Structure 1
Amino acid sequence: MAYTVLIVDDEEGIRQSLGDILEDEGYEVLSTEDAAHAMRIIEADNPDLVFLDIWLPDRDGIELLEELRIKRPTLPVVMISGHATIDLAVKATRMGAYDFLEKPLSLERVLLTAQRALERGVLEKEFQALREDISRKWQLVGQSPVVRDLKDQITILGSNTSRVLITGESGTGKELVARLIHYNGPRASNPFIEVNCAAIPQELIESELFGHEKGSFTGAYERKKGKFELADNGTLFLDEVGDMSLQTQAKVLRVIETQEFQRVGGSKKIRVDVRIIAATNKELHEEVKKGNFREDLFYRLNVIPLHIPPLRERKEDIPLLVDYFLEEFSQEYKKTRKRLTEEAMQVLINYDWPGNVRELKNVIERLVIMTRHDTVTEKDIFLYNIGKKDYFSYKTLKEAREAFERDFILAKLRENNWNISRTAEVLNIERSNLHRKIKNYGLS
């Protein structure tokens, strides 16, 4: 497919000669002498590249460039002029012009600039499409007051680079919120690197975070960059930060304070510029009291605290979430979009969703795949044991084990009318141990 190039210049000779050069190279050429007509052509024909003169009869070319950068940010614009100053050229490039060419125009320079500007335009369009795809994928769905407030906070946090500590139960969407903060900020085009501190063995987490040199330990066959280095100029998301060992916490604290670190087995100091967003499902201030988490690191991470409520506290968002996931999975699996009966939707609303949004998402995915008819009834939903906890919705064995233990203890307490001694005997544990678990799981 031939690229379309628009030439905007008040000199007919320039339009003719420049047009001939570009047409000889296979480009489709459109031309006009004024800014107003140029905007109409751009709206109607969507050219791939614009050669724009500084001086036009009806408008200043710099003003038109400014408008194009707002309305068509991915459209490459090359400025041309026979009376330009260095200051004007610098101003144009700072405003987003791809290049600035002086008249008389050089044939080789025009063709090389056109080729490179079009390549840049393609890359910018691909990047814009990727950002839009990311925006569709990472959405905070809901209109409840708590979600509207959360969206407002994300917008505010996106405009700066302060550290954020996100708290909330498993499955509430802590990673989603972290990504939204990143993608709504000035670092959106730079890396977002995630580290699940609970999923990495303690003996390997320093290598994961800071990298290692070749031969620094058994199995280190080559040098490897760590997550801090990979996240340079971007965002590092420390998920489940409460599961980090005290030794690693001390090293992370030093990096936060100095923005410098050394790879494992290395001596060279590596400097980075990284925004840190941390998340946990633990009460970190309680972990500090127990001596499991460094107080100084807690205060460093907790510059901006952000809490995500569990799904049971925003049940008015469930229909919107169901609709969103139905659409997502219908497209992903190329299935006819299903609808839920009112009774089926009420079953979902009445359920407490201990696995939160992640559990709801898993249920809707299964319904889209496994339900043969287009209308989902409450019978279809009951097939998936809604009302019983979906332990498979948890990310780690630790989370699933804790959830099961909580539910099992609660069931036995109810069976024994909350008689602690009898329940402890049934569970075959000490009364003091049961008291501690009741307190830890908030069952009192």
Structure 2
Amino acid sequence: MARDKCGKILIVDDNEDVLLSLNMLLKPYVEAIRVINTPERIIEFMDSFKPDVILLDMNFHRDAISGEEGYEWLDKILKHNPKSVVLFITAYVDTEKAVMAIKAGAIDFIPKPWDKKKLLDTVKSAVELSKERNRNINNQKQYTITEVSPQEAFARFIGECPAILDLKAQIKRVASTDANVLITGENGTGKDVVAHALHNLSARNTKPFVNIDLGCIPENLFESELFGYEKGAFTDAKGAKEGRVESANEGTLFLDEIGNLNLQTQQKLLTMIEKRQTQRIGSNEVNNVDVRILAATNANLCKKVGEGEFRQDLFYRLNTIELHLPPLRERGEDIILLAEHFLNIYSGKYSVGKVVLGASAKKKLMQHTWPGNVRELQHCIERSIVLNDKPELSAEDIRLETSSTASASYLTIGGIENVESLNLQTLEREAIKRAISLSNGNLTQAAEMLGITRFALYRKIEKLGI
């Protein structure tokens, strides 16, 4: 969670020891904390303290393990503010409760006893989700306006392998047009970096760049986030809100994880693209908009079209130009270039002086398959800087992710040979169940085992009816 403080946390638990422990643990990392030992005061603190995240105990009576009280209070919290981000605290976690909690609207579990690092990571992710849900509230536009040179536009785009050099050349050609672009590639390859480069090299680079991560937004909020709403349009719409499309007017709208968009919102997005008009929920007024759309996905949209999960006409509209990012394992010496880039960033951030990679460290980095791609490499280098005080890192100082190992162990323990069907959906369902079971209901850990984001796991749970 680094040293930067983020978010306001409300902790609700009837155990004074738990309140004290969590308060002491989280205090150095967050902006403010409030603790209460009775759930009856939750709404009061929601209105006065306005927490970004609520840590809620599931059981408030001695020997209670059902979690029913937690579900009841979760329902009250979400009725009071549907955008609330709630993490359950419980010593009794199983697969059934984990799935029930997610369906009820919780974000994740914090098991007792907790692992400090996982707890901090979970809280940080929850705060980020809370900020995302509340972005643009009260019509405050949350976008970046930049004016940069072509050299600056590629400052974050590290790489010299043939595929990346060809991609940079394509970006330069495409950026000057207003063509919609679909950016494809595995998770963690840097699709957002490509989107920013396209915007920064375009004639729109002094106008808004609005990013909406559809993988972090509940499905029932897609439409309101994209198109906004008027006061009274639905329960809890206490004021008007500008949609992201309006915010991006004359600029660039970046739709990350476009494959998550439901069919109903796909239709409205298609209409907006074709007519260049947008309409808020609850309004009869139509507004003209001028936006360039960049979309990104790690999914096979052609397959989704064939399965009826993605509109073919929208796919063609988004796919005027397709730019593909290769996985890190196919980029050769770029691995070392990126590693050295992150070394410079984190050695400065943590004030440890100049740090270099030794020959054995470079060999280890080159031999790894990097299932998490550039994002995994970035975390690996940051972890190596934090845990070592050497001017030169060796192979033993490079601590690689274990998610691929955990996924492999599932195949060994659960075994494909023990699954009656080789249907991909069935295998995926069994893998998710197994990961949730192995992680004792900790969905953050389960997602790591599966090699996907926690929010992607939520969507799969809902989609597969687990």
The normalised TM-score by structure 2 is 0.58
Distance in structure 2 (CA, Å) of the matches to 1:271 and 1:299: 22
Question: Are 1:172 and 1:311, in contact at CA under 8 Å, matched by a contact in 2?
Answer: yes
Deviation for aligned residue 1:375: 1.5
Question: Are 2:159 and 2:334, in contact at CA under 8 Å, matched by a contact in 1?
Answer: yes
Distance in structure 2 (CA, Å) of the matches to 1:164 and 1:435: 30
- Aligned match for 1:139, one of 156, 176, 194: 156
Distance in structure 1 (CA, Å) of the matches to 2:351 and 2:150: 18
Residue in 1 that maps onto 2:441:
none
- Aligned match for 1:246, one of 257, 263, 275: 263
Distance in structure 2 (CA, Å) of the matches to 1:252 and 1:284: 16
1:339-382 alpha-carbon deviations (Å, 9 max, x no partner): 1110011101100000000000011112222211211111111x
Whether 1:267 and 2:280 are equivalent positions in the alignment is no
Question: Are 2:149 and 2:201, in contact at CA under 8 Å, matched by a contact in 1?
Answer: no
One-letter amino acid of the structure 1 residue matched with residue 363 of structure 2: Q
Residue in 2 that maps onto 1:348:
365
Unaligned runs of 5+ in 1: 1-126, 392-403, 425-429
1:431 aligned counterpart, secondary structure: coil
Residue in 1 that maps onto 2:346:
329
Unaligned runs of 5+ in 2: 1-144, 432-466
- Aligned match for 1:364, one of 381, 388, 391: 381
Q: Which runs of structure 2 are paired with 1:212-223 in the superposition (5 Å)? A: 212-223=229-240
One-letter amino acid of the structure 1 residue matched with residue 385 of structure 2: V
- Greater CA radius of gyration, 1 or 2? 1
Task: From the superposition, tell whether residues 134 and 245 of structure 1 become closer, same or farther in structure 2 (CA, over 3 Å).
Answer: farther
Q: Which runs of structure 2 are paired with 1:291-302 in the superposition (5 Å)? A: 291-302=308-319
One-letter amino acid of the structure 2 residue matched with residue 352 of structure 1: T
Residue in 2 that maps onto 1:282:
299
One-letter amino acid of the structure 1 residue matched with residue 316 of structure 2: Y
2:303 aligned counterpart, secondary structure: helix
- Aligned match for 1:338, one of 334, 351, 355: 355
Identity percentage of aligned residues: 43
Distance in structure 2 (CA, Å) of the matches to 1:316 and 1:308: 16
1:366 aligned counterpart, secondary structure: helix
Task: From the superposition, tell whether residues 135 and 271 of structure 1 become closer, same or farther in structure 2 (CA, over 3 Å).
Answer: same
Deviation for aligned residue 1:332: 2.5
Residue in 2 that maps onto 1:22:
none
One-letter amino acid of the structure 1 residue matched with residue 403 of structure 2: K
Task: From the superposition, tell whether residues 240 and 409 of structure 1 become closer, same or farther in structure 2 (CA, over 3 Å).
Answer: same
Distance in structure 2 (CA, Å) of the matches to 1:219 and 1:333: 43
Task: From the superposition, tell whether residues 188 and 345 of structure 1 become closer, same or farther in structure 2 (CA, over 3 Å).
Answer: same
Deviation for aligned residue 1:389: 2.9
One-letter amino acid of the structure 2 residue matched with residue 286 of structure 1: K
- Aligned match for 1:173, one of 182, 187, 190: 190
Question: Are 1:326 and 1:338, in contact at CA under 8 Å, matched by a contact in 2?
Answer: yes
Whether 1:204 and 2:218 are equivalent positions in the alignment is no
Whether 1:423 and 2:437 are equivalent positions in the alignment is no
Deviation for aligned residue 1:135: 3.0
Whether 1:163 and 2:180 are equivalent positions in the alignment is yes
Deviation for aligned residue 1:222: 1.2
The root-mean-square deviation of aligned C-alpha atoms, in Å, is 2.7
Task: From the superposition, tell whether residues 350 and 206 of structure 1 become closer, same or farther in structure 2 (CA, over 3 Å).
Answer: same
Whether 1:309 and 2:323 are equivalent positions in the alignment is no
Distance in structure 1 (CA, Å) of the matches to 2:224 and 2:200: 27
Q: Which runs of structure 2 are paired with 1:381-420 in the superposition (5 Å)? A: 381=398, 384-386=399-401, 388-389=402-403, 407-408=408-409, 410-411=411-412
Task: From the superposition, tell whether residues 185 and 352 of structure 1 become closer, same or farther in structure 2 (CA, over 3 Å).
Answer: same
Task: From the superposition, tell whether residues 390 and 195 of structure 1 become closer, same or farther in structure 2 (CA, over 3 Å).
Answer: farther
Deviation for aligned residue 1:292: 0.5
Deviation for aligned residue 1:215: 1.4
Question: Are 2:185 and 2:325, in contact at CA under 8 Å, matched by a contact in 1?
Answer: yes
Question: Are 1:412 and 1:423, in contact at CA under 8 Å, matched by a contact in 2?
Answer: no
Task: From the superposition, tell whether residues 259 and 141 of structure 1 become closer, same or farther in structure 2 (CA, over 3 Å).
Answer: same
1:12-44 alpha-carbon deviations (Å, 9 max, x no partner): xxxxxxxxxxxxxxxxxxxxxxxxxxxxxxxxx
Deviation for aligned residue 1:132: 7.0
One-letter amino acid of the structure 2 residue matched with residue 279 of structure 1: A
Deviation for aligned residue 1:257: 0.3
1:275-313 alpha-carbon deviations (Å, 9 max, x no partner): 000010000000001110001100110100111000001
Q: How many residues align?
A: 287
Distance in structure 1 (CA, Å) of the matches to 2:292 and 2:279: 18
Distance in structure 1 (CA, Å) of the matches to 2:154 and 2:392: 25
Deviation for aligned residue 1:270: 0.9
Task: From the superposition, tell whether residues 241 and 136 of structure 1 become closer, same or farther in structure 2 (CA, over 3 Å).
Answer: closer
One-letter amino acid of the structure 2 residue matched with residue 331 of structure 1: G
Question: Are 1:355 and 1:390, in contact at CA under 8 Å, matched by a contact in 2?
Answer: no
The normalised TM-score by structure 1 is 0.60
Whether 1:154 and 2:150 are equivalent positions in the alignment is no
Deviation for aligned residue 1:220: 1.4
Distance in structure 2 (CA, Å) of the matches to 1:134 and 1:192: 19
2:377 aligned counterpart, secondary structure: helix
